[in-house]
A and B are shown apart, each in its own frame.
Chain A
Amino acid sequence: SYVLTQPPSVSVAPGQTARITCGGNNIGSKSVHWYQQKPGQAPVLVVYDDSDRPSGIPERFSGSNSGNTATLTISRVEAGDEADYYCQVWDSSSDHFYVFGTGTKVTVL
Chain B
Amino acid sequence: EVQLVESGGGLVQPGGSLRLSCAASGFTFSSYEMNWVRQAPGKGLEWVSYISSSGSTIYYADSVKGRFTISRDNAKNSLYLQMNSLRAEDTAVYYCARNTATLYGSYYFDYWGQGTLVTVSS
CA distance A20 to B32 in the complex (A): 31
Q: A12 contacts the other chain (Cβ, under 8 Å)?
A: no
Contact A97/B109 with A31-B102, A48-B102, A86-B44 known, Cβ cut-off 8 Å: no
Contacts of B68 in A (CB 8 A): none
A42-B112, A42-B114 known; A97+B47 contact, CB < 8 A: yes
Q: Is B29 an interface residue (CB 8 A)?
A: no
Contact count band on A: 20 to 34
Residues from chain B with a CB closer than 8 A to the CB of A102 are: 44
Question: Is residue A71 within 8 Å, beta carbon to beta carbon, of the partner chain?
Answer: no
Within 8 A of B (CB), among A32-61: 33, 35, 37, 41-45, 48-49, 54
Q: Which residue of B lies closest to A43 (CB)?
A: B112
Q: Closest chain B residue to A100 by CB distance?
A: B45
A90 contacts B108, C-beta separation under 8 Å? yes
B80 interface hit (Cβ, 8 Å): no
- Asked if A90 contacts B107 (CB within 8 A), the reply is yes
Contact string, B75-89, partner A, CB cutoff 8 A, digits 1/0? 000000000000000
From the candidates A48, A89, A103, name the one contacting B44 in the complex (CB within 8 A): A103
* Interface residues as binary, B29-60 with A (CB distance below 8 Å gives 1, 0 otherwise): 00000010100000011110010000000010
Interface flags, B60-79, vs A, CB<8A=1, else 0: 01100000000000000000
Of all chain A residues, the one with the shortest Cβ separation from B111 is A45
Q: Which residues of A contact B105 (CB under 8 A)?
A: 31, 90
How distant is the Cα of A96 from the Cα of B38 in the complex, in angstroms? 13
B32 to chain A, nearest CB (A): 15
Residues of A within 8 A of B35 (CB): 98
Chain A positions within 8 Å of B102 at CB level = 31, 48-49
Alpha-carbon separation in the docked complex, A57 to B98 (Å): 18
Query: A78 to nearest B CB, angstroms?
Result: 22
Interchain Cβ contacts under 8 Å between A and B, 13 examples: A42-B113, A42-B115, A45-B109, A48-B100, A49-B103, A54-B110, A88-B108, A90-B108, A97-B107, A99-B47, A100-B45, A100-B47, A103-B45
Pick the 6 closest A-B CB pairs, nearest first.
Answer: A31-B106, A98-B47, A33-B108, A42-B112, A100-B45, A90-B107
